[in-house]
């Protein structure tokens, strides 16, 4: 009798956790992002939430290297306080957007209060036409863990579905 209950429970539980995991990954990736052309040397930013942010370089081409040796300065406009920006090139965090542009995280910084900030690039860099910077909250390991949760939930759901179909076909219910 217990074996008749397990496949549908696996199917329903796997589907439930799969939908919850997909909803969570959408929430993480749809956070506030600030995009602006890389050729601008100064950019006024309004960061609403204190925390860790990443600066990613976006290039609209499939070929060519992405400059990863860019230095930045983050300055709070009201108090003229400078925050340290560390280089954090993460090639494993590279991704593509829906238009096919490559996005590579190149730096990160931490702010302790919500306020207006100014981003400056230090030095002279030859940016290509269409290159942009994206500033967004750092997701860290959350996205990585949720991808494994999605894979595991999908596996459980498929297992429950296959076992349920086999149960129906063999008339074991």
- Locate the domains of the chain by residue range: 2-169
Q: Is the pLDDT confidence value at 112 over 90?
A: no
Q: What pLDDT does residue 141 have?
A: 74
Condensed to tens digits (0 to 9), the pLDDT of residues 39-94 reads 776 677 888 888 888 888 888 877 777 777 888 888 888 888 888 998 887 766 67
Q: How far, rounded to the nearest angstrom, does the alpha carbon of residue 101 sit from its chain's CA centroid?
A: 15
| Cα–Cα separations (whole angstroms), residue 168 to 11, 34, 57, 156, 163 | 14, 52, 53, 18, 9
125-154: average pLDDT: 84
Q: What is the pTM of this model?
A: 0.71
Q: What is the mean pLDDT of residues 23-44?
A: 79
C-alpha distances in Å from residue 2, one per residue of 6, 15, 151, 162? 6, 20, 26, 17
pLDDT score of 153? 96
Please, are residues 65 and 137 in contact by the beta-carbon 8 Å criterion? no
- Digit-coded pLDDT (tens) for 1-21: 677 889 999 999 999 999 999
Pairwise CA distance, residues 134 & 137, whole Å: 10
Rounded to the nearest 10 degrees, the angle between the axes of helix 142-169 and helix 2-29 is 150
The pLDDT value given to residue 172: 63
Task: Work out the burial of residue 6: count CB atoms within 10 Å of its CB; fewer than 13 is exposed, 13-18 middle, 19 or more buried.
Answer: middle
């Amino acid at each position: 009798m217990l074996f008749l209950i397990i496949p549908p429970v696996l199917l329903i539980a796997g589907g439930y956790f799969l939908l919850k995991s997909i909803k969570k990954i959408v929430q993480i990736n749809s956070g506030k992002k600030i995009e602006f052309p890389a050729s601008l040397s100064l950019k006024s930013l309004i960061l609403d939430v204190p925390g860790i942010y990443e600066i990613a370089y976006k290039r609209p081409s499939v070929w060519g290297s992405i400059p990863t040796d860019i230095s930045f300065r983050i300055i709070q406009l009201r108090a003229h306080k400078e925050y340290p920006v560390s280089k954090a090139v993460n090639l494993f965090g590279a991704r593509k957007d829906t238009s096919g542009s490559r996005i590579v995280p190149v730096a990160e910084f931490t702010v302790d209060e919500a306020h207006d900030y100014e981003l400056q690039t230090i030095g002279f860099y030859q940016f290509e036409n269409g290159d942009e910077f994206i500033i967004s909250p750092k997701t860290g390991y959350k996205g990585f863990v949720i991808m494994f949760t999605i894979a595991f939930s999908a596996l459980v759901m498929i297992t429950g579905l296959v076992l349920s179909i086999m149960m129906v076909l063999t008339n074991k219910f």
